[in-house]
Chains A and B, each alone.
Chain A
Amino acid sequence: DVQLVQSGGGLRQPGGSLKLSCGASGFTFRAFEMSWVRQAPGKGLEWISSISSTGRPTVYSDSVKGRFTISRDNAKNSVSLQMDSLRVEDTAIYYCTRVGWNAFDYWGQGAVVTVSS
């Protein structure tokens, strides 16, 4: 079975940094694009970043460009999101997703990120 297991959420002050990780199993990880989607409290879904199967190219939403960095390690079947210069508005549940069938076909369990002073 496809599984995406996330780790790394937490509480940070504005301006701080946090790294989210997502471990994949049950499929050929190196063959799939991966993405991150977030959901602010009580709000809808927002795509924030994607990375191709090889690691290049990477794409970001305007809301996180220049502050967040997506990366992957195909040898370790993992994808990460390094979040710097955090803002209060980055508070959300962050989901790791696989891109299959041109959609976000599998989702991790989510990681809660809270940015507050």
Chain B
Amino acid sequence: EIVLTQSPATLSLSPGERATLSCRASQTISYHLNWYQQRPGQAPRLLIYDASDRATDIPARFSGSGSGTDFTLTISSLQPEDFAVYYCQQRNMWPYTFGPGTKVDI
């Protein structure tokens, strides 16, 4: 099973600041990495697929990069609605696995 590690566990920032979230895989997964946002009480929402492609209707302030084992999600300028938990997920091999999440709070 591929284990995903996310850092930091919590990121405390202010609106307008840049957020950089990391996801590391226990073995190479090429570009097969997705990112999700989950706000309290809501279902997760796909942000980025295949490491760097934005999903439908996702604002341009969200960007993803990386390949192999190291991946990054960047939020260029935090908006109030961006304070949430972010999960990475690999689809390189079964079982599909998620990271433990990074909470971005104010």
Number of A-B contacts (CB under 8 A): 60
Task: Kindly list chain B residues whose C-beta atoms are within 8 Å of the C-beta of A46.
Answer: 98
Task: Kindly list chain B residues whose C-beta atoms are within 8 Å of the C-beta of A45.
Answer: 36, 38, 44, 87, 89, 98, 101
Alpha-carbon gap, A102 to B97, bound state (A): 13
- Shortest A115–chain B CB gap in Å is 21
Asked whether, in the complex, the Cβ of A44 is within 8 Å of the Cβ of B100, the reply is: yes
Asked whether, in the complex, the Cβ of B95 is within 8 Å of the Cβ of A44, the reply is: no
Q: 0/1 per residue, B75-89, Cβ < 8 Å to A?
A: 000000000000101
Q: Which residue of B lies closest to A108 (CB)?
A: B43
Q: Which residue of A lies closest to B94 (CB)?
A: A59
Q: Which residue of A lies closest to B100 (CB)?
A: A44
CB contact between B44 and one of A35, A62, A104 (< 8 Å): that residue: A104
Asked whether, in the complex, the Cβ of B46 is within 8 Å of the Cβ of A103, the reply is: yes
CB contact between A44 and one of B43, B45, B96, B99 (< 8 Å): that residue: B99
Q: 0/1 per residue, B22-65, Cβ < 8 Å to A?
A: 00000000001010101000011110011001011000000000
Task: Kindly list chain A residues whose C-beta atoms are within 8 Å of the C-beta of B89.
Answer: 45, 47, 103-104
Q: Which residue of A lies closest to B95 (CB)?
A: A61
User: Counting CB contacts under 8 A, is A95 at the interface?
Assistant: yes
Task: Kindly list chain B residues whose C-beta atoms are within 8 Å of the C-beta of A59.
Answer: 94-95
Q: 0/1 per residue, A49-92, Cβ < 8 Å to B?
A: 01000000001011000000000000000000000000000000
Residues of B within 8 A of A (CB): 32, 34, 36, 38, 43-46, 49-50, 53, 55-56, 87, 89, 91, 94-101
Q: A44-B101, A45-B98, A104-B36 are in contact. List 5 more A-B contacts (CB 8 A).
A: A46-B98, A59-B95, A103-B91, A104-B46, A104-B89
